[in-house]
Structure 1
Amino acid sequence: MRRLFLFSALLLVLVGLPVSGKAQDGGMQRIAAVVNDDVITVLDLEARLYMIVVTSQLPDSAELRQRLRPQILQSLIQEKLRLQEAKRLDVTISDAEILDGFSRLEKQNKTPPGSFVKFLQAKGIDLEIAKSQVRGDLAWFQVIARTIEPKVIVGSQEIELELNQLRNNLGRPQNLVAEIFLPVDSPARDGEMSALAQKLEQQIRGGASFQSLARQFSQSPTAALGGDLGWVFKGQLAAELENVLDSLSPSQMSSPVRSLTGYHILLLRDRRVSDQAKLGDIKLTLSQLYLPTDGAAVLTEDKRREIALRASEAKSCPVFDALATEYELSSSGPSGVLAATDLPENVRKVLLSLPENKASPAVPVTGADVIFMVCKREEPNLLPSSEAVAERLKRDRVDILARRKLRELQRAAIIDIRL
């Protein structure tokens, strides 16, 4: 009890209330919100607020706390909803799992084992407050693992489309990006999220840690990694985000950007152009059908359509090459092994995404149209594995469905906010 009283007294000082029994009973023990049958007290709110201010290295001021309270209260409400759903599904989180969560946080921050608990104790933060937040996160992860992840299937065509896009982007600029994402789940919360995004931007520009604020406030799956999105090619993000990234230099941060789903604060950590030598490591064994568009050997339009149709029906290079002989096409047949960098850009763009043993559309070159077939492709260590691509696509889809589930829980709940 003495420890609780000391912590309550500290929080009363933080919010500028006089430390007295009457203030404690009438102030800190007041109800901030009721979520179905669960109560969130002002003490709960102020304790969580103080922990976030300290762990995020934010300057402690009355104005900042006033700005953050609505968002922190919403986070506590969502935490209650997550825990209630976990209880309904008989999901429980042990103390050992929570301490393991602390350990992962220490590894991410590259700090010694046990340092997180020592830090909280040194700042006068009750360990139960941190445990409560981690318990809510871990319980929700298990809820999602049981109810959503088994239903999300990523098809082979989706994986191949993503790999094709990555192939086409080889040799093009990449951005190393981190983000803080604040979703706008309803028009009524747009102003609140906009104000919070602007406040977070202000704090980061004033010296607060981007990574710490991302961990506490971002609603993206990357939050646990300090907002790190990793290396992304142009075209992988929404157009409005790409346009902002194009205007940034490495180490620069954007102002809040509104997308269809919410507000983003982007940090361009670095920029690079994919090593052209790596593009040269892609080796393609090719065959081709050369269809002249001028000169004495030019083909009629009907003949060109006939050859293109026959080529599209070919399922192997030997069958494809036989068409060169059948139609007496010069400069046609096997072309040997070529590096991707040896091909004209318009040809390379088509062939990098072309599956093996499938005819390409006719590609215009000087004096002819050429139909290609990739007989064999060698691309060592240039692209992520199909499994890695499938995992990322699944993770993105699960995140969208998890946020939808939380919105549904919130709509179905009886929530009484009393502040």
Structure 2
Amino acid sequence: MRLIRCSTGVALAALVAGGALAQTAPVQTPAPAAAGTLNPAAEQTPATAPAAPPQFQLSEGIIATVNDQIITSFDLRQRMLMIIAMSQVQPTEENIPAIQQQALNALIEERLQVQEIAKYPDLVISDAEVDEEVARMAEDAGTTPANYMQFLEQGGIRARNMREQLRTEIGWRALVGGRFNNRAKVSRAAVDQAMRQVTEAASKPQYLIGEIYIEAARVGGQQAAVTGADQLVQQMVAGAPFQAVARQFSAAPSAPRGGDAGWVVQGTVQPALQVALDQLEVGQLSRPIPVEGGVYIIYMRDKRSGAATSLVTLKQIMIEAPETASPETVAAATARLEALRPQLTCDTMLARATSEQGLLGSDLGEADVANLAPQFQQVARTAEVGTVSTPVRTPLGVHLVAVCGRRVGGADAPTYQQVEGRLQNQNLAMLARRYIRDLRADALIELK
């Protein structure tokens, strides 16, 4: 079990005592649903350094040990500066404790990750891999690697500390991927079910959102999560980039993507979140939304009423019977197809049609439901994939129609591979969180 021992009379908050702290601009009290409109220019982390790094007065020495590996006050200060620089949150007397707690949690987990990586001698991250990660981060910030590192150094962050942090992050991703990729794979049935859910949701309102989730257990309880979230909202309304704040503070799986949660369908989220989604306008940021276990902040990036098209893949068997055919002829054709229907599937339908006289089979391919003959549209919209309809009368004859596939159309419609990748990434993120929780539960952690 995890053991945490705190020295008597010493609280972590005492590590910060005064110092030169930049103050945020006053923020007006927000409306019930929205805290304000974000500055679109703040979507990317600015590539210019702050005028001067914030000054913290931290007691010198060891802050904590993690299985006998130490965390010093220098380590803590460096990580706090990193969080401030990367999130563009302005340090204030009110939010310094939250930044400090976030930094300490990150350092504890990093020490555990380093210890776990060390068990695998072949898992060595080269300087070139670290250079590639720095280059990617610099590109995201719209600058060069040299300028990016200079930006961090002007903020008081040592390049060596930054590179070692990145080396651990890369190694941890490689370790998690190597251990859990096979377990994270999803079945075809799971992907098919997800595709059906996407299709069924196509006509419902949808929201493209960013999310930040503050987990109560990581920050000292629900009230601390609400307070911390409120401070983050004020910082973002004042100009801190949402994506950068999400990367540093969010506990959601979307954090590495800057809080990008993608398109969310009406009715698929918790009721408290749905209320915010219904009330927020595009470009607005929600106030903190308490839920069980933590607090959400939602940024409404876009809205839409639903997908414009629904595509189906159809096959059919037909008995010719023109409009002038007698009722007896139509009835006979209907009876024959009704008797044949239980024996048919999408895979056998065309072969059966070619083996019996008087039957015509055809693969209708994929089509927009709206472009189908009116008699086929009801089948295409309502029949389950893989089923064969009851006989359908058209001016050409009597038909059996098989719905062999259905998906959402339009430029934003996800492909099978995209849905599969999303589900696998969700599984991998869940396994990684469980992995670090288990390591933390088994560790000896002492806070000095």
TM-score band by shorter chain is 0.7 to 0.9
Pick from 37, 40, 47 the counterpart of residue 78 of structure 2.
47
Give how far 1:251 is off: 0.8
Which one of the candidate residues 228, 242, 256 is aligned to 2:288? 256
- 2:209 maps to 1:177: yes
1:99 CA drift (Å):
2.0
Deviations 1:358-384 (A, max 9, x none): 336999xxxxxx985226779877643
- Aligned partner of 2:186 in structure 1 is 154
Which position in structure 1 is the counterpart of 2:423? 393
Amino acid across the alignment from 2:94: E
Q: Is the 8 A contact 1:287 1:374 kept in 2?
A: no
Distance 1:231 1:407, change over 3 A: same
1:138 matched to which residue of 2? Answer: 170
For 2:115 and 2:96, the matched residues in 1 are separated by 27
**Shift in CA distance, 410/127, structure 1 to aligned 2, threshold 3 Å:** same
Instruction: Judge conservation of contact 1:317–1:375 (CA < 8 Å) in 2.
Output: no
Q: TM-score scaled by structure 1?
A: 0.74
Alignment deviations for residues 293-334 of structure 1 (CA, whole Å, 9 cap, x no partner): xxx99xxxxxx9xx9997455324469989xx99xxxxxx99
Once residues 250 and 111 of structure 2 are traced to their aligned partners in structure 1, the CA distance between those partners, rounded to angstroms, is: 18
Match of 2:434 among 388, 399, 404: 404
Equivalent AA in structure 2 for residue 40 of structure 1: I
Say if 2:388 is the partner of 1:359: yes
Structure 1 residues 269 and 314: alpha-carbon distance in aligned structure 2, compared to 1, 3 A threshold: same
Query: 1:374 matched to which residue of 2?
Result: 403
Answer 1 or 2: which has greater helix percent.
1
Q: 1:188 to 1:154 in 2, by over 3 A?
A: same
Give the number of the structure with larger relative contact order, counting CA–CA contacts within 8 Å between residues 6 or more apart: 2
Establish whether residue 36 from structure 1 lines up as the match of residue 54 from structure 2.
Answer: no
Contact 1:285 / 1:376 at 8 angstroms: preserved in 2?
no
Q: Taking structure 1 as reference, are residues 288 and 235 closer, same or farther at Cα in structure 2, changes over 3 Å only?
A: farther
Q: Residue 436 of structure 2 aligns to which amino acid in structure 1?
A: L
| Alignment-derived partner of residue 132 in structure 2 | 100
Report the count of equivalent residues.
372
| CA contact 1:282–1:378 (8 Å) conserved in 2 | yes
- 1:282-361 correspondence to structure 2 within 5 Å: 284-285=314-315, 311-315=341-345, 316-317=348-349, 339-341=368-370, 347-351=379-383, 354-355=385-386, 358-359=387-388
More moved, 124-133 vs 397-406: 124-133
Partner of 2:50: none
Q: 2:285 aligns to what SS in structure 1? A: coil
CA contact (8 A) 1:284 1:339 kept: no
Q: Does 1:228 align with 2:260?
A: yes
C-alpha distance 143-131 of structure 1, shift in aligned 2 (>3 A) = same
Aligned counterparts, 1:15-26, within 5 A = 16=18
What's the secondary structure of 1:59's corresponding residue? coil
Kindly indicate whether the alpha-carbon contact (under 8 Å) linking 2:312 and 2:404 is maintained by their aligned counterparts in 1: no
Q: Which runs of 5+ in 1 are unaligned?
A: 1-12, 19-25, 290-295, 298-303, 327-332, 364-369
Distance 1:402 1:211, change over 3 A: same
Query: Which residue number corresponds to residue 3 of structure 1?
Result: none
> Contact conserved, 2:313 with 2:364, CA < 8 A, in 1?
no
Distance 2:83 2:307 in 1: 41
1:410 to partner: Cα distance? 0.7
Identity %: 28
Tell me if structure 2 keeps the 8 A contact 1:253–1:267. Answer: yes
Structure 2 gaps of 5+ residues are 1-14, 21-56, 320-326, 329-334, 393-398
> Could you tell me the TM-score, scaled by structure 2's length?
0.70
